[in-house]
Amino acid sequence: MIDRSAPRGVLRTRWRRHPAPEPRGVARVPAALPVRPRTGRLLVLATVFVCAACGLVYELELLALGSYLVGDSVTQASVVLSVMVFAMGVGSLLAKALRGRPAFGFALVEAGLALLGGLSAMALYASFAWLGESRPALVAFSFAIGVLIGAEIPLLMVLIQRIRRQDAGGAVADLFAADYVGALVGGLAFPFLLLPVLGQLTGAMLTGTINVVAGGGLVLWLFRRDLSRRARWLLVAVNITVLAALGCATVLADDFERVARRAVYGGEVRVAVQTGVQELVLTGPPNGSPRSLDLFLDGRLRVSGYDEYRYHEALVHPAMTGPHGRVLVLGGGDGLAAREVLRYRDVASVTVVELDPGVVRLARTDPMLSALNGRAYEDPRLGVVTADAFRWLRAPAARARFDVIVSDLPDPGITPSTKLYSQEFYGLAARALRPGGRLAVHAGPPGTRPRTYWTVEATLRAAGLRTAPYSAGGRLSGFAAGPDRALGASASAAKLPQDWGFVLAARDGVPRLRVDRETPALRSLSTQSLADAARDTERTRVGGLPPSTLPHPRYS
């Protein structure tokens, strides 16, 4: 303003602080709220907290489903996170169009987010079960959920400023503090509460219910004066519809899982258990032969009763040539590798180190699986340790204890098992061997994935071990991939000869591929078949491959 008291000829101005102009299209602060402004502001921040927790649960749900249904957790995590972060930026820009009606817009955003996030797990599983492919659905849900999450903060920023005016920096700090703390709670609730207690489907739908109640309740009560009568009834109808959809889906979740599981695994699912580590599914007729049994771990066919003996005979018996009084089995909680080891009467002890106690429990109690493993867990020579194999081998007590180590682990291309195929891991395994001891490793299919197989062999050599590569299951052409075959394989495909690759390793001299005269009677293995398999395997060799280490994993 002009200071008229200044001397003539001198123009002075005196500035008074005025409120910053409202953005175009944004209404001013309501004249009255149902509560005091301080309480209203706390309610908005509490809603930010709840919505942030729900948003992170949706994100983790997509990550978990992507790893489970598609495989390769690193790739799927990268896809989900990058698409979602990009979509959040898009959502922030699109939210500018809703600034004129921020309360109404925020309620619609939360309703849409609750519906999409709550039903995302069911939709992705349905896509995989009936269409056989979930990647497009995974990307679409990541983008849609990211857009809605990105639209939240701009709208909340407008709402909180209308309750009590403050500088933009302070408002942003308050909102992001509530947002980040909520994300922490959601991130911890997913693996420790929602997933183990409710499972993926019901956990996502409960999260959606909390989301829509928090977002809709805030707007319909605290900001009801901002809404026209028609807008209020519309939001009530939308929120009730979302709650009804989530409620119906929750009631039908068990039936949906059973139907979808039949579509994926076939009609003879006998056992389906979600442990704290993975999903275990046993299929086969209730009173059928053990040869009709199939065991799936996290959707991958790990054991087929039809031909598992070929795999386990080839894995175990070449390593048993020589001293074998004390044997260590890494993985192999199904008891099938231990069955082969315990066929030797002069074995004094067998130690099975298995991460998932649910596998051991199933191998002990399921009639068909316990019959298939020869009731190995009833043998007093067998002991079980529930632990991560890498961590267990690092203990000083594991040094120089075993004559034979059998590494019966999932394929190295499955990301969670990559560290168990590293140079560091094999160094620990070599340290646990007695002088003259041998290490047998399942190394993936040399015919269909030769780079992976020969990377395992190069990694064993880098750890100071001498190697003898070989395979089992037939000639190396056109066979399905190893014991960890993809989910949803047809029954006929499951009965084809398999491309199983192994490496026998030792610290002291090159190990010999042969079967001793004292070896119990075998159905599929002989010294001559091992020699033929070694020649076939050598034809697939890929030279010059670097070893896989913890900082530089080489498997894909």
Average pLDDT, the chain: 87
Q: What is the pTM of this model?
A: 0.80
pLDDT band at residue 179, thresholds of 50, 70 and 90?
very high
Mean pLDDT throughout 403-432?
Answer: 90
Q: Band the pLDDT of 301: cuts 50, 70, 90.
A: confident
Task: Quickly tell me which residue has 């697939």 as its tokens.
Answer: 540
- Give the model's pLDDT for residue 12: 39
pLDDT at 476 over 50: no
Contact by Cβ (8 Å): 463, 455? no
Q: What is the pLDDT of residue 488?
A: 41
Distance set, CA 114 to CA 10, 54, 144, 213, 441 (Å): 64, 8, 12, 9, 47
Q: What pLDDT was estimated at residue 188?
A: 96
Find where tokens 């499955």 sit: 414
Q: Which residues lie below 8 Å from residue 174, measured CB to CB, with a gap of 6+? A: 45, 160
CA triplet 453, 432, 401: central angle to 5 degrees? 135
Residue entry with tokens 């081998």: 393
Which amino acids are annotated catalytic?
A: 408
* Average pLDDT of span 312-322: 95
Q: How many helices (H) and strands (E) in the chain?
A: 17, 12
Indicate the SS3 state at residue 337.
helix
pLDDT (tens digit per residue) in 229-245: 999 999 999 999 999 99
| Tens of pLDDT, residues 95-118 | 999 988 999 999 999 999 999 999
pLDDT at 268: 84
Strand partners, 329: 352, 406
Q: Please report which confidence band the pLDDT of residue 498 belongs to, taking 50, 70 and 90 as the band edges.
A: low
Q: Is the pLDDT of residue 483 over 60?
A: no
